[in-house]
């Protein structure tokens, strides 16, 4: 038989279909319905991985997502995923898994010598050992530690699979599909309420499918099947299997990850690998069950030591005997079921060790199984290295003896799975009657039922689930149907498991936190060294800080600290958990919107035409803008940019200015409103005129600039910089709604409505004349500098024409509705061809605005005032405006502040660098001598040298002076001449006429 | 004189790809072209006048909340207190209304998403509850689709939704809907 530990019958697996898979290169066979762990156990593979620090052999401890030991790498290549819990990895044909943290092989791991050195690897080891010499930390200690410790390896290639994020709304979210959760979902679902039932498992039922129980006269697994079938038929119920609810957030929001395709070799076409759900629920029922806890005895991490409840899951759900000769060691009656199930499966019960005194349930089970019964005893040590070969049992009188076995089933009691109740600050309460923490506060709208609430009996779980489901639906206004839970077979016995937490040390390490290799000795050491607060315990020993967040470890660690320090458990403290309940892939959090689709890409109207021209694009915020338009033979961006600048300055060029923010402002008080938000005055500007404007923040710092045109008596058109379009719109809406609600003014973003091209250069008028329909006067008299007119172009398309210039040349901005933008750029190019037109991009634009000394984002950088920018004279003295008062503060009004001036290298062949700081000649390069900084530089074709703009202390008084521009980052130190910040046509003649 | 200008959509196949799944379509995606759109804001103190003018011109009562009211080819969709998006499938001169009116015919692109999987597809982008118990024909919302601002309204029980977004965001929104729709039987192409 290829699967030596597969039972002859039973289990919820499809025995008719074999599934071949590999582990560490060897081929095995399992069945649909298996997890990787159950299939490995069926094949007799008990050694699954090596531990984090000591490289100890590790097997399978649990049958769920709390697994700290059986972590593997799943898949290969770009899909390789580290630290996958074999206990939840659903088997599929061709699954490839490999063990982690071993070298060269799992069975022979050289780094297991770490165990011999374990006296130095105790808690706080890193802090104590690698102190000196400290400089070796980065180069030596950390890389070594990282290689020796650690678990799986992340894939090195990009994840090839898609992920999705989605939102779901419901009346009732039921978390957990065990008996309590199914009852809650049925009770809520039958009322007609919108219900979502989420369970992390691929099969619903929870413990119902892991136990041999009866419900309503049939097997519990069968009942779970029928419940699932009914839920599937309720139109407003959504069942999410393979879905872990990871976190509870404000407003009834829960985060969950659905492993849509993790059980497949690779996702089906267009299917996401995982889907992140944002679930908005009016009510929630938490039915997350309970997690078993270990007892700390020597070698309790040896493969073959397994939780008693997990043993039953492997026997009953998967039809697998995790061992053939078993010892059961427990402090509660729940383990009696393990004894009975092992016996029923034909396994030999060597011994049953009850940590308590005489207990009828375990007693009866042991007697039926014919097992040696030890009351008040302990398993002191499991031994066998890579798999359990036997254990040493101590009896109540202190005598000890060894028994041979290949399985030690352990139960140290059960912890309610209360993690989600703590995510919004709920503090768990220790309950002596349970010997466990139960939910304290819960997130608003959440009810906790079943084992998660400490109600471990099946009957009480069903009843509480049904009641909570119905009540939650009623709270949402639904009361249609009813659900009477089925009768459960008898729950009797003591599930409270209060110690012993540890067995007095014999030989062998006794583990508390398996995943982080924290032992009883580490907890003792922490106590001795004064790290007695549970928060210190955690950080000093790393207890509970592995990817399992200490699901099996935290309560045991806390109980040990309580015992060592002679305090009660609640007095010792508790550790809260944070989302996520189980680790979540960043891909799932990112969803579909990653890489180029992380944010929207905005394409200006000329984009498709520019693509055809072979333009080189640059991302500016969300916009994709043409940076320059290279021609055949041009070798770099600078050559192209120089040609584009020269063409504009001598002939004519065209630029897509559509990315500037455009805001339509209307209303009887539109002018008054603009007077409030700009430092200069627009209410008196004539219709048909445009003007440059500057707005300040409340604190007096310059916020944004642009132009304002007056289209009618109560109608203005505002432009903003590309970068600040959204924030200016937001600011103006804020001003309108909150600061000036009495004004009749209305704003509408029309950025996308208009395609707008700047046509600039001495021949720009000729181009515009060729486009304008007959009868439109493009002469200086018809449309003088700063004039605005509406017209039609190209045979009837309505357009707006602005005589504005950013380049310093005669220029027009021609705007048409955006749908005509593509056609208009082609028409402009055709009309301009006789005049030598060329398109120019953002690079040439930047050069020309620097040559003209126009401030842009580098100067409007959130630190500069109107006066700093040389625009102080624009501030109207006749009115107030936002930011005016605070701009007159002492610090901001200080005449010694750095002012905007221009710079040229004294040696005209030298290059300037943005970011260089100004220092007087002969002065030391120190912060004390810093007099300002260079904000923008460009190679100016018009000047034949580099030119710069920058802020220099008292700059306007220092024209002609020579200072140093020091750039320590790039070893730059250039002498520069301070000049007026206008390098081309300083009289401004060209824009007129 | 220059050649007449040709109107073009913001969507081209290389930035807004077409897709057509075999078999029954769970969700269809189309651009609604040739709409006349305008943002309309009531002037201070002249709100009643606007209500009257709209009723007289189009035979409909302006919605007062996040809703769409249609009559014939014209609809008004609530866009905030005292604000609407006027939509018409025929050339319409909204600027004559006694209101602050700004033409948005080119400022917005309207996408139509419909079919049995439309809701599930949109749930990957829009966080509002579009379940028929809470959102039905005539309901509207200003919200966002992932990071794109949208104005959304439901047209019928198919269900059919129309989503207005800024024109330069439309290609991205198209791609995002396609991305979500491909596993759900998507049919995305230009209007027939």
In this model, does residue A131 exceed pLDDT 60? no
Contact A879, A873 (CB under 8 A): no
* Interface test with chain B among A619, A819, A835, by most B beta carbons within 10 Å: A819
Domain formed by B36-103, architecture: 2-Layer Sandwich (3.30)
Contacts of A27 (CB under 8 A, 6+ apart): A20, A21
Nearest by Cα to B129 from B92, B94, B162, B154:
B154
Q: Is B39 helix (H, G, I), strand (E, B) or coil?
A: strand
Over residues A331-336, the mean pLDDT reads 92
CA distance A776 to chain B (A): 12
Instruction: Check whether the bond before A197 is cis (ω within 30° of 0).
Output: no
Q: Could you tell me where the beta strands, DSSP code E, fall in A287-431?
A: 290-292, 305-307, 325-330, 348-354, 372-375, 378-383, 390-394, 400-404, 407-411, 414-416, 429-431
* Interface test with chain A among B107, B122, B163, B169, by most A beta carbons within 10 Å: B107
> Confidence band (pLDDT; 50, 70, 90) for B23?
confident
In this model, does residue A149 exceed pLDDT 60? no
What is this structure's pTM?
0.94
Contacts of A146 (CB under 8 A, 6+ apart): none
Percent of chain A whose pLDDT exceeds 70: 95
* Interface test with chain A among B34, B41, B100, B152, by most A beta carbons within 10 Å: B100
CA distance A734 to chain B (A): 14
Instruction: Give yes or no on whether B18-34+106-189 and B36-103 have one common fold.
Output: no
In this model, does residue B79 exceed pLDDT 50? yes
Q: Across the interface, do B168 and A770 touch by the CB < 8 Å criterion?
A: no
CATH number of B18-34+106-189: 3.30.1360.120
| Distance in angstroms (rounded) separating the CA atoms of residues B112 and B30 | 5
Q: Could you tell me where the beta strands, DSSP code E, fall in A181-252?
A: 195-198, 214-215, 218-219, 237-240, 243-249
- Residue A593: its chain B contacts at CB < 8 A? 146-147, 176
Q: Which of A41-55, A184-198, B68-82 has the lowest mean pLDDT?
A: A41-55
B138: alpha, beta or left, given left = phi > 0 and alpha = psi -120 to 50?
left
Over residues A789-803, the mean pLDDT reads 97
Contacts of A267 (CB under 8 A, 6+ apart): A161, A162, A260, A261, A273
What is the per-residue pLDDT for A1? 45
> Confidence band (pLDDT; 50, 70, 90) for A52?
confident
Q: Which of A95-104, B36-45, B172-181 has the lowest mean pLDDT?
A: A95-104
Nearest by Cα to A338 from A491, A451, A461, A210:
A210
Over residues A4-28, the mean pLDDT reads 96
Better-predicted residue by pLDDT, A134 or A18: A18
Please report the residues numbered 93 through 132 in chain B whose beta carbons come closer than 8 angstroms to any beta carbon of chain A. Answer: 100-108, 120, 123-124, 126-127, 129, 131
β-strand pairing of A429-431 with A436-438: antiparallel
β-strand pairing of A616-620 with A623-628: antiparallel
β-strand pairing of B27-32 with B108-114: antiparallel
What is the per-residue pLDDT for A121? 63
What is the per-residue pLDDT for A493? 65
What is the per-residue pLDDT for A359? 80
Mean pLDDT of all residues belonging to chain A = 93
What is the per-residue pLDDT for A118? 67
CA distance A796 to chain B (A): 7
Domain spans in chain B, listed from the N-terminal domain onward: 18-34+106-189, 36-103
Q: Across the interface, do A164 and B124 touch by the CB < 8 Å criterion?
A: yes
Residues pairing with A964 in the sheet:
A919, A975
């Amino acid at each position: 038989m290829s699967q030596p530990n597969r039972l002859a019958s039973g289990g919820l697996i499809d025995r008719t279909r074999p599934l071949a898979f590999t582990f560490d290169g060897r081929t095995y066979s399992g069945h649909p319905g298996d997890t990787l762990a159950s299939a490995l156990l069926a094949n007799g593979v008990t050694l699954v991985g090596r531990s984090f620090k000591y490289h100890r052999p590790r097997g399978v401890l649990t049958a769920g997502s709390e697994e700290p030991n059986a972590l593997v790498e799943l898949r290969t290549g770009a899909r390789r995923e580290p630290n996958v819990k074999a206990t939840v990895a659903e088997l599929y044909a061709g699954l490839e898994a490999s063990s982690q943290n071993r070298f060269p092989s799992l069975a022979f791991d050289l780094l297991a010598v770490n165990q011999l050195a374990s006296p130095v690897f105790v808690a706080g080891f890193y802090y104590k050992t690698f102190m000196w010499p400290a400089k070796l930390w980065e180069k030596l200690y950390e890389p070594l530690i990282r290689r020796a410790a650690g678990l799986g390896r992340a894939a090195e290639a990009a994840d090839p699979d898609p992920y999705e994020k989605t939102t779901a709304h419901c009346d009732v979210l039921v978390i957990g599909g065990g008996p309590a959760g199914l009852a809650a979902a049925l009770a809520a679902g039958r009322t007609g309420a919108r219900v979502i039932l989420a369970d992390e498992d691929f099969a619903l039922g929870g413990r119902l499918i892991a136990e041999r129980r009866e419900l309503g006269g049939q097997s519990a697994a069968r009942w779970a099947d029928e419940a699932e079938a009914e839920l599937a038929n309720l139109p407003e119920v959504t069942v999410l299997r393979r879905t872990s609810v990871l976190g509870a957030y404000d407003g009834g929001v829960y985060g969950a990850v659905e492993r849509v395709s993790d059980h497949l070799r690779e996702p089906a076409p267009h299917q996401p690998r995982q889907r992140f759900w944002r679930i908005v629920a009016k009510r929630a029922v938490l039915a997350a069950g309970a997690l078993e806890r270990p007892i700390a005895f020597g070698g309790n991490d040896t493969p073959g030591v397994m939780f008693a409840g997990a043993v039953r899951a492997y026997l009953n759900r998967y039809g697998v005997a995790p061992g053939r000769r078993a010892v059961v060691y427990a402090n509660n009656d729940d383990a009696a079921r393990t004894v009975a199930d092992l016996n029923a499966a034909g396994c030999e019960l060597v011994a049953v060790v009850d940590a308590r005194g005489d207990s009828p349930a375990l007693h009866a089970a042991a007697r039926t199984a014919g097992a040696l019964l030890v009351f008040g005893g302990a398993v002191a040590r499991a031994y066998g290295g890579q798999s359990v070969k036997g254990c040493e049992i101590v009896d109540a009188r202190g005598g000890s003896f060894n028994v041979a076995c290949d399985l030690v089933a352990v139960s140290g009691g059960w912890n309610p799975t209360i993690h989600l109740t703590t995510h919004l600050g709920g503090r768990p309460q220790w309950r002596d009657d349970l010997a466990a923490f139960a939910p304290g506060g819960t997130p608003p709208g959440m009810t906790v039922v079943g084992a998660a609430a400490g109600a471990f009996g099946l009957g009480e779980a069903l009843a509480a689930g049904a009641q909570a489901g119905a009540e939650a639906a009623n709270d949402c206004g639904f009361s249609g149907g009813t659900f009477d839970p089925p009768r459960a077979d008898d729950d009797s016995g003591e599930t409270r498991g209060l110690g012993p937490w540890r067995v007095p040390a014999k030989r062998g390490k006794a583990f508390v936190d398996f995943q982080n290799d924290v032992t009883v000795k580490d907890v003792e050491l922490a106590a001795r060294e004064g790290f007695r607060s549970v928060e210190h315990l955690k950080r000093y020993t790393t207890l509970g800080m592995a990817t399992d967040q200490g699901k099996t470890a935290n309560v045991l660690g806390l109980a040990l600290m309580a015992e060592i320090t002679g305090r009660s458990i609640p007095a010792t403290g508790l550790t809260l958990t944070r989302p996520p309940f189980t680790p979540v892939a960043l891909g799932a959090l990112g969803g579909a919107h990653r890489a180029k689709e992380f944010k929207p890409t905005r394409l200006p109207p000329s984009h498709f035409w520019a693509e055809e021209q072979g333009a080189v694009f640059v991302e500016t915020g969300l916009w994709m803008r043409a940076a320059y338009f290279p021609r055949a033979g041009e070798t770099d961006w600078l050559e192209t940019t120089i040609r584009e600048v020269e063409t504009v300055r001598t002939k004519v060029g065209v630029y897509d200015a559509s990315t500037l923010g455009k805001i339509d402002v209307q209303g009887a008080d539109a002018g008054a409103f603009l007077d409030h938000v700009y430092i200069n005055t627009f209410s008196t500007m004539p219709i048909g005129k445009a003007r440059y404007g500057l707005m300040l923040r409340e604190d007096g710092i310059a916020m944004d600039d642009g132009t304002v045109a007056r289209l009618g008596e109560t109608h203005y058109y505002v432009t903003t910089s590309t970068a600040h379009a959204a924030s200016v719109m937001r600011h103006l809406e804020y001003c309108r709604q909150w600061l000036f609600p009495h004004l009749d003014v209305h704003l509408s973003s029309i950025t996308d409505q208009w395609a707008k091209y700047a046509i600039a250069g001495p021949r720009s008028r000729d181009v515009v004349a060729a486009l304008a329909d007959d009868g439109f006067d493009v002469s200086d008299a018809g449309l003088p500098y700063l004039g605005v007119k509406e017209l039609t172009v190209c045979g009837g398309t309505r357009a707006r024409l602005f005589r504005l210039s950013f380049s310093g040349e005669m220029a027009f901005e021609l705007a048409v509705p955006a749908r005509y933008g593509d056609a208009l750029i082609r028409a402009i190019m055709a009309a301009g061809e006789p005049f030598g037109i060329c398109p120019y991009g953002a690079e040439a634009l930047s050069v020309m605005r620097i040559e003209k000394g126009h401030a842009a984002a580098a100067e409007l950088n959130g630190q500069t005032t109107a006066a700093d920018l040389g625009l102080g004279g624009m501030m109207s003295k006749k009115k107030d405006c936002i930011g005016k008062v605070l701009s007159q503060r002492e610090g901001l009004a200080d005449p010694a502040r750095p002012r905007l001036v221009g710079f040229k290298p004294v040696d005209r062949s030298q290059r300037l660098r943005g970011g260089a700081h100004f220092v007087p000649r002969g002065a030391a390069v120190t912060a004390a001598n810093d007099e300002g900084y260079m904000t923008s530089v460009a190679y100016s074709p018009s000047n034949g040298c580099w030119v710069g703009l920058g802020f220099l202390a008292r700059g306007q008084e220092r024209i002609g002076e020579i200072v140093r521009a020091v750039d320590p980052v790039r070893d730059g130190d250039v002498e520069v001449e301070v000049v007026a910040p206008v390098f081309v046509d300083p009289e401004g003649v060209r824009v007129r006429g | 004189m220059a050649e007449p200008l040709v109107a073009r959509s913001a969507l081209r196949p290389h930035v807004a790809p077409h897709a057509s799944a075999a078999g029954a379509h769970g969700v269809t995606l189309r651009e609604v072209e040739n709409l006349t759109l305008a943002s309309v804001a009531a002037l201070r103190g002249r709100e009643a006048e606007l209500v009257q003018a709209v009723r007289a011109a189009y035979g409909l009562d302006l919605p007062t909340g996040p809703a769409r009211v249609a009559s014939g080819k014209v609809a008004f969709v609530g866009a905030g207190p005292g604000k609407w998006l006027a939509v018409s499938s025929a050339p319409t001169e909204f600027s004559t209304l006694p209101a602050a009116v700004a033409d948005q015919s080119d400022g917005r692109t309207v996408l139509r998403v419909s079919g049995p999987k439309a809701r599930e597809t949109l749930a990957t982008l829009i966080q509002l509850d579009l379940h028929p118990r809470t959102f039905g024909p005539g309901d509207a919302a200003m919200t966002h689709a992932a990071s794109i601002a949208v104005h959304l309204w439901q047209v019928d029980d198919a269900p059919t939704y129309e989503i207005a977004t800024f024109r330069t965001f439309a290609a991205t929104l198209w791609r995002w809907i396609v991305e979500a729709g491909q596993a759900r039987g998507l049919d995305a192409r230009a209007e027939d």
